[in-house]
Every structure is written in C-alpha cells, then in structure tokens.
Amino acid sequence: MLPFIYIVALCTLIIFRRDIQTIMYFGGFVISGIINHYLKITFKQQRPER
C-alpha cells in the first residue's frame, strides 16, 4: 500500500510543481524498481532451510 501512496504523491507533485528535481527523483524511483525486479529474476536462488 505504501508504494502506491508514494507514487501517487510523486505524480501529484510532478503535475503541480513541474520541477526537474521531482521528475528526476520519480525517474530514479522507477528505474531502481525495474533494476531490482530484473536482478531478483537473474539471481533467483533457493532459500536456505533452517
């Protein structure tokens, strides 16, 4: 739920403020999420058993 609220808040800031810092912050947030997703797929390993 929190990432959804975070994305909505950033989109609202981009729409109303339209400054480059907010747009770049949102772009970094999206790129980081995409990289994390592909790294998770690439390095998928079994979890250790206890």
Whole-prediction pTM value? Answer: 0.67
16: in domain: yes
46: in domain: no
Tell me the pLDDT tens digit for each residue of 1-50. 667 888 888 889 889 988 898 889 888 988 998 999 999 999 988 888 88
40: in domain: no
Number of structural domains in the chain: 1
39: in domain: no
pLDDT at 11: 87
CB distance 10 to 25 below 8 Å: yes
Full residue range of the structural domain in which residue 17 is found? 2-32
pLDDT at 1: 60
Among 35, 11, 44, which residue's Cα sits nearest to residue 25?
A: 11
